[in-house]
Homo-oligomer: A and B are copies of this chain.
Amino acid sequence: MKGIRRLAQDLNISIGTVSRALNGRSDVSEDTRRRVLEAAAEMGYVPNQAGRSLRQGSTNAIGFMIELGADINSNSDTFFMGVFDGVQSVLTRHHLDLVALPCPTDENPSVYLQRMIGRRLVDGLIISATHRKDSRIDLLTKARIPFIALGRSMTSGDYPWIDLDFDGVARRGIDRLVAAGHSRIAAAVPSNDINLGFVFLDGYKAALKRHGLPLDPALIMRVPSSELGGYQLGRDILAMKDRPTAIILNYELLALGIYRQLAEAGLQPGRDLAIVGFRENPVSRFMSPRLTCFRVSLRDLGIALGESLLATMPAYAEAYPLGMVQRIWPMELVPGESDVG
């Protein structure tokens, strides 16, 4: 005898009553509820999730899919840890738990996602590292699984998303550099088809136009989103005949590689090449000269993701009357010395 049956037997009441007591139904006397809760706590009873899921058709869990291949190189895991914490803080209010679903590098993300959906082990999903065209979005809408994307996509159809303000970052970065007298400003964008690169690039182009600066295709530099990519980027820049005097980055660790490359060439960030970095992170705070970059509260971002996801789920929506969230998440400029000589 196990589980709720055991509990009921010990207390000499029916399993139905035990279940009602545990789930906070009203049609159970306060006295028996107390006895049930006590007994449950004592014997360490936790409802079997498989049983619940099967009966209720819901799992009380939310999934956060991360792509080990893409995310490793477009974020670091302090990024996700921070976001996780925020999401979880929202979910616990509703007795939901967060599970992270790491899609291995050698598996197709859509196939992986489809398997996870089919398994039905989460009630809702957060996906990240959205690509330019992301078939996962179609998959999720077709399967009618509540979800939200961390990142926009060009995939058609309306769906909820929250995305960092890549456009604003590009704009403000250019503004700062132009104000400092620069006119040949390069932009680093990822070499894969992650959507954020396109948004960033659009912002870059618009900002140049607004300042009346010409767009030189040679200054749009595609590199892998990694510190190694930054190193390579630095070398490419130094090798150019008509070298830019400034550059804006769209991935947080690129700056490391450039710093190193400049150091090896006896050059100095800020004086010999103005650099505007991307996300402030534990590393950027300890670079010298200090990197000009943009701050974002990961926890708040996670909270927003959690709340916006719940807003799309009928069972929780009344607590979050947000509708379909499509929101650009602001980033705060953190001035450093890397962009002013």
A106-141: which have CB < 8 Å to B?
106-107, 114-121
Chain A residues touching B, majority SS: helix
Chain B residues, Cβ within 8 Å of A92: 104, 107
Contact A102 B85 (CB under 8 A): yes
Which of A18-26, A74-82, A314-322, A328-336 lies at the interface? A74-82
Does A278 lie at the interface of the complex (its beta carbon under 8 Å from any beta carbon of B)?
no
Chain B residues, Cβ within 8 Å of A14: none
Contact B72 A81 (CB under 8 A): yes
Chain B residues, Cβ within 8 Å of A179: none
Chain B residues, Cβ within 8 Å of A98: 102
A205: min CB distance to chain B, Å: 30
Determine which of B117, B227, B263, B286 lies in contact with A288 in the assembled complex, contact meaning CB atoms within 8 Å: B263
A198-239: which have CB < 8 Å to B?
226-228, 230-231
How many Å lie between the Cα of A227 and that of B285 in the bound state?
9
Contact B49 A51 (CB under 8 A): no
If A54-B50, A114-B46, A282-B226 touch, whether A78 touches B77 (CB-CB below 8 Å) is yes
**This chain: how many copies in the complex?**
2
Contact B120 A50 (CB under 8 A): yes
How many Å lie between the Cα of A283 and that of B82 in the bound state?
19
Residue ID in chain B nearest A105 by CB atoms:
B85
A276: min CB distance to chain B, Å: 18
Does A15 lie at the interface of the complex (its beta carbon under 8 Å from any beta carbon of B)?
no
Chain A, 68-107, contact with B by CB distance < 8 Å: what is the 0/1 string? 1001100011111110110011001000011111101111
Contact B81 A77 (CB under 8 A): yes
Q: Jot down 10 A-B pairs with beta carbons below 8 A, ordered by A.
A: A45-B118, A50-B51, A51-B54, A77-B80, A92-B104, A97-B101, A253-B282, A253-B283, A256-B282, A257-B286
4 new A-B contacts, CB < 8 A, other than A46-B117, A50-B54, A88-B104, are A89-B106, A99-B101, A121-B121, A257-B286
